[in-house]
């Protein structure tokens, strides 16, 4: 197995970069989009609430694999041609945004409504209150579920192999096909996924303890 690892190491190194790039990139972009959707969900404007609800319903209610295939194979029909990596990144971003929006919304709703009223009594604008008072508390509450979403997203990048993205699963499949040692390759890749997610778990735990330290 060690000999196989050494032989496939150059491919695995590139695949790890692609996997992390897709996972972390989709998480950052999905967080930005998800926050916007969460704010639409709590908006006083009914049309915005309906649009946000429809978005979450569609992207949470359909498989990620279907979304990836629709973007990669479906959009060219309408003149929008994306290469494999941008297609996968777009699909992962849109998919993760639907879940992250609910994490943000739950965090915002967990903040005592009295804080909104106190800010309003001090003539603080809604957006200023949101930025300075509500969001910092909401992120603290949402952090555990956001961390879980990031870990799930790293694993979801394996679906990008279906559109020929050379991430970890794709490399395992190709090396396994050329060497007929599928078991060893997929065990090796599974271990790499586990190590990555363990590091992310440790980072999440550190962030949680740091953000809640002053509350103890």
- The confidence score (pLDDT) of residue 70 equals 96
Q: Are 175 and 81 in contact (CB under 8 A)?
A: no
Taking residues 71-95, what's their average pLDDT? 94
Q: Are 8 and 171 in contact (CB under 8 A)?
A: yes
Residue 51, pLDDT above cutoff 50: yes
Sign of the C-alpha dihedral, residues 32, 33, 36, 38?
Answer: negative
Residue 7, pLDDT above cutoff 50: yes
Residue 181, pLDDT above cutoff 90: no
- Cα separation values, 116 from 20, 82, 101, 103, 168, Å: 38, 44, 20, 20, 46
- The confidence score (pLDDT) of residue 135 equals 84
- The confidence score (pLDDT) of residue 34 equals 95
Question: Which domains are delineated in the chain?
Answer: 2-209 (1.10.3720.10)
| HSE-up of residue 114 (Cα within 13 Å, Cβ side) | 1
Going by pLDDT thresholds of 50, 70 and 90, the confidence category of residue 213 is low
DSSP designation for 62: S
Taking residues 104-132, what's their average pLDDT? 79
- The confidence score (pLDDT) of residue 214 equals 55
Q: Is the pTM of this model over 0.85?
A: yes
Residue 147, pLDDT above cutoff 70: yes
DSSP 91-145: HHHHHHHHHHHHHHHHHHHHS-HHHHHHHHHTT--HHHHIIIIIHHHHHHHHHHH
Token readout for 7 is 């032989």
- The confidence score (pLDDT) of residue 216 equals 47
Taking residues 128-153, what's their average pLDDT? 87
Residue 199, pLDDT above cutoff 60: yes
- The confidence score (pLDDT) of residue 95 equals 96
Taking residues 135-160, what's their average pLDDT? 91
């Amino acid at each position: 197995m060690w000999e196989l690892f050494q032989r496939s190491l150059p491919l695995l190194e590139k695949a790890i970069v692609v996997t992390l790039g897709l996972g972390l990139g989709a998480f950052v972009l999905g967080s930005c989009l998800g926050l916007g959707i969460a704010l639409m969900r709590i908006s006083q404007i009914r049309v915005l609430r309906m649009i946000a609800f429809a978005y979450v319903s569609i992207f949470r209610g359909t498989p990620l694999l279907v979304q990836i295939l629709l973007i990669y194979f479906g959009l060219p029909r309408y003149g929008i041609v994306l290469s494999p990596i941008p297609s996968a990144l777009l699909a992962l971003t849109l998919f993760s945004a639907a879940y992250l929006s609910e994490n943000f919304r739950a965090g915002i709703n967990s903040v005592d409504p009295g804080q909104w009223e106190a800010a309003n009594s001090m003539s603080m604008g809604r957006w200023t209150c949101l930025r300075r008072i509500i969001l910092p508390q909401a992120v603290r509450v949402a952090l555990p579920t956001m961390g879980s979403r990031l870990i799930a997203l790293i694993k979801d990048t394996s679906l990008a192999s279906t559109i020929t993205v050379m991430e970890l699963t794709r490399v395992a499949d190709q090396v396994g096909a050329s060497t007929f040692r599928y078991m060893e390759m997929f065990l090796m890749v599974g271990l790499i996924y586990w190590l990555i997610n363990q590091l992310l778990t440790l980072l999440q735990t550190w962030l949680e303890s740091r953000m809640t330290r002053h509350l103890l």
